[in-house]
Amino acid sequence: MKKRRFHYLILAIAMVSLGIGGFLLFLNRNEREQSIKPLRVTMILPHSDYGYWSILGQGVNQAGKDLGVDVKVEIPQLNYNVEQMTSLIEKTTAAKVDAIIVQGIANDRYLAALEKAEEKGIQVIFVDTDVEDFPNKLYIGTDNYQAGYMLGEKAAEATGGKANIIVMSGAEGYPNLEQRYEGFQDAIKDYSEMKILSLEYDHYDALRFSEQYYQAKKDHPEADTLICLEGTAAQTLGRKNSNLKKVYDRILAFDLSNEAIYALEEDILYGVVVQQQEYMGYLAVEQAKQKAEQGIYDADVIFTDISFVTAMDLDRENSDEKK
């Protein structure tokens, strides 16, 4: 009874000192403070590659620290396993997060899982690969058509407009790779002596790439140029224990990793398209927070910068650092 009287006394004092409006705020303050939780964002990586995707994940984690966002990175047990990634989307949706960051993949079940998430009010943000007709989404990443076009222009420069080309892609059903291939084809279409002999797939696997690397040359002995539309090639060729012999005069690929730098320095690679994957991840979290707080993204599509780097560019950079 004494405790109850004391409680009423505290309430009376609060009413007098705060007034009715202030008193109501006083009563609800604790409840409101408990209801204010940090934004929850989950990034689902296709795999942990210690290169492109891992760097993108670093951007997501750094943004979480800088912006006070609760971020989580999920990875399937098997590389690029769409079924497992779909299950992770479903699990994340059930957890009622605020935003999901994913790669766009043209798979019906995968997209259906994302549509369910969007219907439940969860932001869907695509990085690296867009799904253009997906409702109420944001895409942050490379303009993949332009990246492929740039690769075609650089291949024309490197070969003097004369080449027998093997194209190595990751896997079928990935819009970013299809857009890159389309851009590459358009860039070289006016060069009558630049011919694409074959389109191969390495399935984002270093061993498969190594096998295809030799098999394509065996099937097409006249091939002198290898064009790689994603980062597996540069990582594999730049591993010091890969033991892959140089069987193509020129190799152009994607993504600047430590392995790619080594391959450029050793004249294994002619050049690579460089993407801003860490910034993609950071910006995705930043935009998710802005959407939650202000109700809008900066745009529905945000393209990040690309560039092309050769060994000569690395030499210039090293020279500038020494000055």
3-state secondary structure of 250: strand
- Residues paired with 102 in a beta bridge: 126
In this predicted structure, the answer to whether residue 67 has a pLDDT above a threshold of 60 is yes
pLDDT tens for each residue of 129-148: 999 999 999 999 999 999 99
For position 322, what pLDDT does the model report?
Answer: 52
Q: For residue 260, give both structure tokens.
A: 């790619």
User: Are the folds of 40-141+278-304 and 144-275 the same?
Assistant: yes
Segment holding 125, helix H or strand E: strand 123-127
Q: Which of 239, 143, 237, 149 has the alpha carbon at shortest distance from 188?
A: 149
Contacts of 267 (CB under 8 A, 6+ apart): 311
Q: Higher pLDDT residue, 62 or 12?
A: 62
Q: Order of strands, edge to edge, in the sheet holding 162-169?
A: 193-201, 162-169, 225-228, 250-254, 271-275, 306-310
pLDDT reading at 3 higher than 70: no
Q: What residues does each domain of the chain span?
A: 40-141+278-304, 144-275
CATH number of 144-275: 3.40.50.2300
Task: Over range 112-137, report the average pLDDT.
Answer: 96
**C-alpha separations of 166 from 204, 222, 309 in Å:** 17, 10, 21
Lowest mean pLDDT across 13-17, 60-64, 114-118, 136-140? 13-17
Of 253, 286, 5, give the one whose Cα is nearest residue 123.
Answer: 286
40-141+278-304 CATH:
3.40.50.2300
- Placement of tokens 């050769």 in the chain: 310
pTM of the model: 0.83
